[in-house]
Amino acid sequence: MKSITRQEEQILLAIHNLGDEAYLITVREKIKDFTGKYFSVGTIYAPLNRLDKLGYLETYYGDANAIRGGKAKKFYRITKQGYDALAEIKEQHDMMWQGLAIPKI
């Protein structure tokens, strides 16, 4: 399985949590909710494209509307390969964190 970055992991988790409402702006907002950090559109867009090229995401378009100047929103959905990548990352995290007791200092 191709390794992904922490930011790509956050994007996949945001898409998972957003369900049918996962498009660029909502993904960015969800990551801000998770991390408290505000990322530019470009900072989110580039990893979204990489995840799509890796086969971890699939895209589809909503209906065009006048508010968006006749343009349709591009939505994202996690593929089986994307969920497999998340499962692998979670397993790695669980193994690395196993037994960690934070000392009270």
Give the C-alpha separation, 18 to 30, whole Å.
Answer: 8
Whether the Cβ atoms of residue 48 and residue 76 lie closer than 8 Å to each other: yes
Average pLDDT of the segment spanning 71-76:
89
Average pLDDT of the segment spanning 67-83:
87
CB neighbourhood size of 10 (10 A): 20
Whether the Cβ atoms of residue 9 and residue 86 lie closer than 8 Å to each other: yes
Q: What pLDDT was estimated at residue 100?
A: 86
Four-way CATH pick for 6-97: 1.10.10.10, 3.40.50.150, 1.10.287.3510, 3.40.50.10190:
1.10.10.10
Whether the Cβ atoms of residue 8 and residue 17 lie closer than 8 Å to each other: no
Average pLDDT of the segment spanning 62-85:
85
Q: Tell me the average pLDDT of the chain.
A: 91
Domain ranges of the chain: 6-97
Q: What percent of the chain has pLDDT over 70?
A: 94
Q: What percent of the chain has pLDDT over 90?
A: 70
Q: Where are the beta strands (DSSP E) in 1-105?
A: 57-64, 72-78
Give the C-alpha separation, 59 to 22, whole Å.
Answer: 10
